[in-house]
Structure 1
Amino acid sequence: MGKIVISEFMDEQAADSLKECFDVTFNVDLVEDREALLAAVADADGIIVRNRTQVNTELLAAAPRLKVVGRLGVGLDNIDLKACEARGVVVKPAIGGNGSSVAEYVITAALLLRRAAYFSTSAMVQGDWPRQALIGREVSGSTLGLVGFGAIAQETARRAQALDMQVAAHDPYLPHDAPEWAGVKRHESLNSLLQTADVVSLHIPLTDATRHLIDVTALASMKPDAVLVNAARGGIVDEAALASALREERLAGAMLDVFEQEPLPAGSVLDGVPGLILTPHIAGVTEESNARISQMTADNVRDVLAQAEEMT
């Protein structure tokens, strides 16, 4: 019987489905205890992770039997893909499992930040009535600018259009004549998109090319009444530059779900920044998406190990 280690949270029903054929170690504390994790994978054929477990050369060396990494999500920056390929370890992300969850998060952020009225609780319970100060803007008629136009961005675009938003996008990797561009204004450059968008949402992976893509210069290109949403990957936004832009009112607001360091360190530059909403990497995680992604990942891992068994 093969062994599968699950080091982060997963739908229990999906995890239980693996126990029919495999010895399963399901321990969410392993992501916090590297030594225990390395010991657990010593005889593992598969591992299932989210975004915090680092699947690197150290882990691969500790897991000589490893054949598959199941990713509960789509981001792969915590997985050394080249090292996995060199070892013949298959990496299986749960593509398409959380698209609607992230899209809803982005639209919610646009509504919250544009309206601006939802920051009033503290003042109101102290007896203030800041009605005039909190007259915000509608999303209807505004422009949503999508940086990257893959599947999740496309789902976001459809929801935005239903709210009568105009949608624009920049994605140099999507062909000019791709049918996905129908009804969406295509921008050749990131700067052009940033200059015209009222809401900017990021939908790109973290790579050497995208690290701090949204930096001092990029933020200066945005309208002072624009807002920024990042539910993609931490590190794409220069957090110090964003904090300064918000404090100096060069940007109207921002909502971040991902960060350069997770959890946020004490004394983060984001502490106390006005107009900023922070959430703990939860955009793609709902009850529904967790069930979908978990079952998809369980099936992916099961299929890879079954194929490996057939070949031996």
Structure 2
Amino acid sequence: MRTCLILDDYQRAALALADWDRLSDRVAVASIAEHIADRDALVERIAQAEILVVMRERTPLPASLLERLPRLKLLITSGMRNLAIDIAAARARGITVCGTESSPTPPTELTWALILGLARHLPGENRTLRTGGPWQSSVGTDLAGTTLGIVGLGKIGTRVAAVGRAFGMRVIAWSPNLTAERADAAGVEQATSKEALLEASDVVTIHLVLGDRTRGLLGEPELRRMRPNAYLVNTARAPIVDQAALRRALEENWIAGAGLDVFETEPLPADDPFRSMPNVLALPHLGYVTQGNYRTYFTQAVEDIEAWLAGRPIRQLS
């Protein structure tokens, strides 16, 4: 009987959202709900597993950790991209790495939850209502007639743009590889430069893949180009924005606020300033966390295991 562990099952949802019984005669499956940050404690907990199912980048798996897991033979990640896994090191150790599909719809919806929450001051208004504070303490920002700047016009960015147009916003977009043809197909204006987009936008939302060219793409010079009444929303990856510069921008009110679903360290440390800044709407990386996405992830994880057991792995990462 092989052993499979599901890591970082925060909501204890994994076992309920797929038919793991299909594996019961060949694989013993268990989930771990708590995040284990300490490397030695993690190795002790998972060392006997031959199969690991991981959720996004919640638990990094660099070469130095993989070499301490000699029994590991199959590694499955949600999504078809995971920068926290050293795939080359896994391959060198004979570990098969597979992924699952992921829908762009949930992060699109969450992006708009953050934009609307910021524009209408929903966290603060809800807090004062619950605590008996002033009835109506803020004046919301209209979105109709304002400019939405999208940094990255891929599957998610294109869907975000469609909603922006439905709200009556002017929508502009920029990315290092954006072409006029793609912008036209999405029904948006192509900004002449990153700087032009930042200067023109009332809301800037990021939808790029993290890589060498996008890490630190928005630093202090870029944030200072934004309007003082503008909001920045990041549901992509935290290092695309220089985090020290962002904290300063929020503390010194270079911008009106930020909606953040991603952080350099997750779970976010208890003393991190982003937890308490009044102009930050922060969420614990919920962009992809929906029943539909989870059902896809874990159902396809079962399929990945079955295919691997049959000697015909599917959805392999390279």
In the TM superposition, what whole-angstrom CA distance separates every residue of 1:244-301 from its partner, at most 9, and x where no partner exists? 2223222112111111112222432324322111111112102222222222333234
- Is 1:56–2:62 an aligned residue pair? yes
Residues 75-154 of structure 1 mapped to structure 2, 5 A cutoff: 76-97=82-103, 99-116=104-121, 118-123=123-128, 125=131, 127-129=133-135, 131=137, 134-154=138-158
Identity within the alignment, %? 33
Change (3 A) 1:107 1:295: same
8 Å Cα contact 1:103/1:159 also seen in 2 = no
Partner of 2:18: 14
Q: What's the Cα RMSD here?
A: 3.0
Q: Measure, in 2, the Cα distance between the counterparts of 1:173 and 1:300.
A: 33
SS of alignment partner, residue 273 of structure 2: coil
8 Å Cα contact 1:49/1:70 also seen in 2 = yes
In the TM superposition, what whole-angstrom CA distance separates every residue of 1:42-75 from its partner, at most 9, and x where no partner exists? 5544321012222121332233454432112455
Residue from 279, 284, 294 that aligns with 1:280: 284
Offset at residue 40 of structure 1 (A): 5.8
Offset at residue 232 of structure 1 (A): 1.3
Offset at residue 209 of structure 1 (A): 3.4
Partner of 2:187: 183
SS of alignment partner, residue 98 of structure 2: strand
Change (3 A) 1:301 1:194: farther
Change (3 A) 1:228 1:8: same
Structure 1 unaligned segments of length 5 or more: list them.
none
Question: Counterpart of 1:282 in structure 2: which amino acid?
Answer: L
Q: Measure, in 2, the Cα distance between the counterparts of 1:227 and 1:236.
A: 16
Question: Counterpart of 1:79 in structure 2: which amino acid?
Answer: I
Greater alpha carbon shift after TM alignment, 138-147 vs 9-18: 9-18
TM-score, length-scaled by structure 2: 0.83
Question: Counterpart of 2:256 in structure 1: which amino acid?
Answer: A
Q: Measure, in 2, the Cα distance between the counterparts of 1:295 and 1:190.
A: 40
Change (3 A) 1:308 1:200: same
Greater alpha carbon shift after TM alignment, 251-260 vs 165-174: 165-174
8 Å Cα contact 2:202/2:231 also seen in 1 = yes
Offset at residue 152 of structure 1 (A): 1.9
Change (3 A) 1:309 1:205: closer
Residue from 37, 46, 51 that aligns with 1:46: 51
Q: Measure, in 1, the Cα distance between the counterparts of 2:94 and 2:128.
A: 58
8 Å Cα contact 2:6/2:32 also seen in 1 = yes
Change (3 A) 1:24 1:142: farther
Q: Measure, in 2, the Cα distance between the counterparts of 1:18 and 1:79.
A: 27
- Is 1:260–2:264 an aligned residue pair? yes
Offset at residue 215 of structure 1 (A): 2.0
Offset at residue 242 of structure 1 (A): 2.1
Change (3 A) 1:233 1:287: same
Question: Counterpart of 2:189 in structure 1: which amino acid?
Answer: K
SS of alignment partner, residue 116 of structure 2: helix
Partner of 2:225: 221
Greater alpha carbon shift after TM alignment, 175-184 vs 221-230: 175-184
